[in-house]
Structures are given as C-alpha cells and as structure tokens.
Chains A and B, each alone.
Chain A
Amino acid sequence: DVQLQESGPGLVKPSQSLSLTCSVTGYSITSGYYWNWIRQFPGNKLEWMGYISYDGSNNYNPSLKNRISITRDTSKNQFFLKLNSVTTEDTATYYCAREGVFFAYWGQGTLVTVSA
C-alpha cells in the first residue's frame, strides 16, 4: 500500500527557511503521478503549494512566488519542500500527497510553527 510520511522541524524562526521531507513507501516516485505539498492554516483553510512530477518537473502556486522549491532524492524515494523567508503567516500543518488529478494518498501532516 502507498504511504507518505512528513518529517522536519516543528519550529522555524521568521525570515529563515522551512524544510520538510516526505518519505514514500509502496510506490516509486519516478514511476508516475505528481507529488504534492498542501498546507492547512489555523482555521482550516487548505492551500495547494505545488508538486514535483514523476519526471522531475515542477509546478508551483503563484501565491508563493519565488519562495518555494520542491526537489527529490530518487535513491531514497523522498521529496522535499523548501519555503524561504517564512513569516508567522506560514504557520500551518503541512501535508504531502500523491496526485493524479485527485489526491488519493495523503501523509498524516506535520505542524510547523513560525515564531521567534
């Protein structure tokens, strides 16, 4: 069965970078599909952040402008989120998810708080 698991620091200081890892088991991230990051703000609003595809191409939400980067390590079957210049507005629960026009598999989510 496909499983995704987020990991990374739970606390990041303002102006620093947020870095998260999504570890995937049960399916190779190079075999197909799109590998996404989605976040949920306090108050429950969901925001799609972007993806890295099975072939390594990216697509990002324009709202994140030039702050976001999604990369991967195919040898470890992991993909990564880096969000630069964070503010308190980036405090959220971050989910990774597999997509093929619908998000069929989600991680359990990891809370990241941006605070000094």
Chain B
Amino acid sequence: DIQMTQTTSSLSASLGDRVTISCSASQGISNYLNWYQQKPDGTVKLLIYYTSSLHSGVPSRFSGSGSGTDYSLTISNLEPEDIATYYCQQYSKLPYTFGGGTKLEIK
C-alpha cells in the first residue's frame, strides 16, 4: 500500500494568516492527490482534486500544489470557518489511502 504522511498533526494560526499543510507519499503518485476538510461534527468535504483543481463551491483561498511524492494545501487569509482537520488521499493505486490528518486551530 502507498503510505501517506502528514508530519504536522496539529497547527495553530491566526485569522488572516496563510497556512500550508504538507503531505508526502511513500512513492510517486503522479499528482493523483485529493484534499478533504473534516469539521468537528464529522462532516467531510472535498476541497481539492488532482493536486490543484478546486472543487465546485470551495472558496478560492484554498489551493493545492505538488508533484512526485510531496504535496501541499495552502489556505490564504484564514477564516474562522476553516477550523477543521485536513486530510490528503491518494488514488494512484488501490487501495486508496489517506494521510493521518492535520488539525488546524486558531491562536
């Protein structure tokens, strides 16, 4: 299985900050990488697909980048509703696998 690692398990930032969340794969995944947001009530939403494509309805302050084994999600101008846990997920090979999550908190 491809292992997905999010080395930062929690992150604290101020409103208006620019935040970057990282994710690395145990082997190259050819940009087949998605990002999800999970709110404290358990609701899960797709943010970014295929590394950098913004899902419909997702604010433009979210962006994604990366290649090979290293990927990142950037939130510019942090807003209160961005408090959540963020997960990366690869779909290069089955079984699909997820990173361990990065919990974003407000300072």
Contact = CB atoms under 8 A, between A and B. Distances in A.
Interface of A: 44-48, 59, 61-63, 93, 95, 97, 101-104, 106, 108-109
A43 B32 CA distance: 25
24 contacts: A44-B85, A44-B100, A45-B98, A46-B98, A47-B98, A59-B94, A61-B94, A61-B95, A62-B95, A63-B1, A63-B95, A93-B42, A95-B44, A101-B50, A101-B91, A102-B46, A102-B50, A103-B36, A103-B44, A106-B43, A106-B44, A108-B42, A108-B43, A109-B44
Interface string B31-42: 010101000001
Contacts, number: 48
A33 to B, nearest CB: 13
Contacts of B100: 44-45
Nearest to B42: A109
Contacts of B91: 101-102
Contact of B49 (A46, A63, A101): A101
Q: Which of B49, B87, B95 counts the most chain A CB atoms within 10 A?
A: B95
A103 B89 contact: yes
